[in-house]
């Protein structure tokens, strides 16, 4: 059976400061700034894309920067994405533990976990970025090339891409049904309150973990929280077919939106999680050369005419 999605495309969160967000992701995590742009809806807000050297789908973390833009804090609870996880080679976990520790980013509440940090047999390091966005590094075999490395994060230790997201569903059986019955994911394993699903492609980058915590409060997305997870749809034709399947199941999709580097449609699945579907066309190089990705302010088409004013209004950010 044809698969609708090829795993995670990107994950998007709300960060507090452009400089802190940039420095953490490109410095501490050693990712590449793939695109510097602004919110498609609100041009006064930075939107920063990080990933591997070419910005492969499945490596991309994108953050909206709510600097000088009021937003209540994220509250962990049912109906929210609680973690985004990257993968790294198992031999690199000492390196990452030390590096995240030195950056003051290891999750203090995860100290106990750090002693027995296995999940489905893989070591897990938990951290918080400068905005408090909950992240993880999972030690696993991952054949993806990952980042070429930086001075501080050598190639052998570099993050290979996104590993998974963890969803604390309001109604776990509905979230699992959405992924398995509609998107053709499969249950890969169950560990305590965590059910791991995987897209047909399999491997790191294809995993969605669904938590069942019936006593948890209802959550609320906000500052320091993850807003949505996007999955890769291989073509526009598949996107049309998927829209039929999802709409036929009674779900309400947005229109197909031009995101300049790809096209996306959005929905909230029945367990309360925001999900996006994105294609791969035309890609990051439509407005920058591959070797200079992330070096210029690339504006969505509708903002281009106001470039000078927008540049002047954006919070200061040194690259």
Q: Which residues of 50-61 are buried (b: 16+ CB within 10 A; e: fewer)?
A: bbbbbbbbbbbb
For 57, residues 6+ apart whose C-beta sits below 8 A from its C-beta are: 6, 7, 8, 9, 10, 232, 278, 280
Regarding 276 and contact with Fe ion (CB under 5 A), the answer is: yes
Q: How many residues does the chain have?
A: 319
CA distance 93 to 72: 34
Tokens matching residue 84 = 């985004």
In whole angstroms, the minimum distance from the beta carbon of 258 to Fe ion comes to 13
Does residue 218 contact residue 79 with C-beta atoms inside 8 Å?
yes
How far is 253 from 265, CA to CA, in rounded Å?
A: 7
CB of 274 to Fe ion, least distance (A): 9
Residue number of the CB closest to Fe ion reads 12
Selected range binding Fe ion among 110-118, 246-254, 271-279, 303-311, rule: CB under 5 A? 271-279
Is 88 near Fe ion (CB under 5 A)?
Answer: no
Q: Which of 105, 153, 168, 230 binds Fe ion (CB under 5 A)?
A: 230
Count of chain residues binding Fe ion (CB under 5 A): 3
Helices and strands (DSSP H and E) totals, the chain: 6, 16
When asked if residue 158 is in the footprint of Fe ion (CB under 5 A), the reply is no
Listed ranges 115-123, 136-144, 158-166, 276-284: which one lies at the site for Fe ion (CB under 5 A): 276-284
Decide whether 8 or 140 has the Cβ nearer to Fe ion: 8
Site for Fe ion in 2-31 (CB under 5 A): 12
Span near Fe ion by CB under 5 A; candidates 17-25, 115-123, 132-140, 268-276:
268-276
Binding site for Fe ion (CB under 5 A): 12, 230, 276
């Amino acid at each position: 059976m044809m698969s609708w999605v090829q795993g995670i495309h990107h994950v998007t969160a709300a960060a507090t400061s452009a400089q802190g967000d940039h420095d953490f992701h490109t410095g501490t995590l050693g990712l590449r700034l793939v695109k510097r742009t602004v919110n498609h809806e609100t041009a006064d807000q930075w939107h920063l894309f990080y990933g591997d050297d070419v910005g492969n789908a499945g490596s991309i973390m994108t953050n909206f920067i709510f600097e000088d833009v009021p937003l209540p804090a994220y509250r962990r609870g049912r109906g929210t994405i609680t973690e985004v996880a990257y993968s790294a080679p198992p031999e690199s976990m000492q390196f990452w533990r030390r590096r995240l520790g030195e950056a003051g980013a290891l999750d203090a509440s995860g100290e106990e976990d750090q002693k027995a940090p296995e999940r489905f047999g893989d070591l897990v390091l938990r951290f918080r970025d400068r905005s408090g966005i909950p992240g993880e590094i999972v030690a696993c075999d991952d054949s993806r090339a990952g980042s070429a490395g930086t001075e501080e994060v050598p190639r052998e230790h570099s993050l290979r891409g996104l590993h998974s997201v963890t969803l604390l569903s309001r109604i776990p059986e509905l979230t699992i049904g959405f992924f398995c019955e509609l998107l053709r994911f499969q249950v890969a394993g169950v560990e305590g309150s965590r059910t791991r699903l995987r897209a047909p492609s399999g491997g790191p980058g294809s995993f969605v973990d669904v938590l069942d915590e019936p006593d948890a409060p209802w959550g609320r997305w906000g500052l320091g929280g993850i807003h949505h997870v996007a999955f890769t749809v291989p073509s526009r034709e598949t996107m049309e077919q998927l829209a039929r399947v999802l709409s036929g199941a009674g779900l309400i999709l947005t229109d197909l939106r031009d995101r300049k580097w790809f096209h996306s449609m959005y929905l909230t699945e029945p367990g309360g999680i925001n999900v996006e579907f994105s294609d791969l066309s035309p890609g990051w190089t439509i407005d920058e050369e591959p070797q200079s990705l992330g070096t210029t302010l690339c504006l969505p088409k509708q903002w281009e005419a106001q470039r000078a004013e927008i540049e002047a209004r954006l919070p200061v950010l040194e690259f």
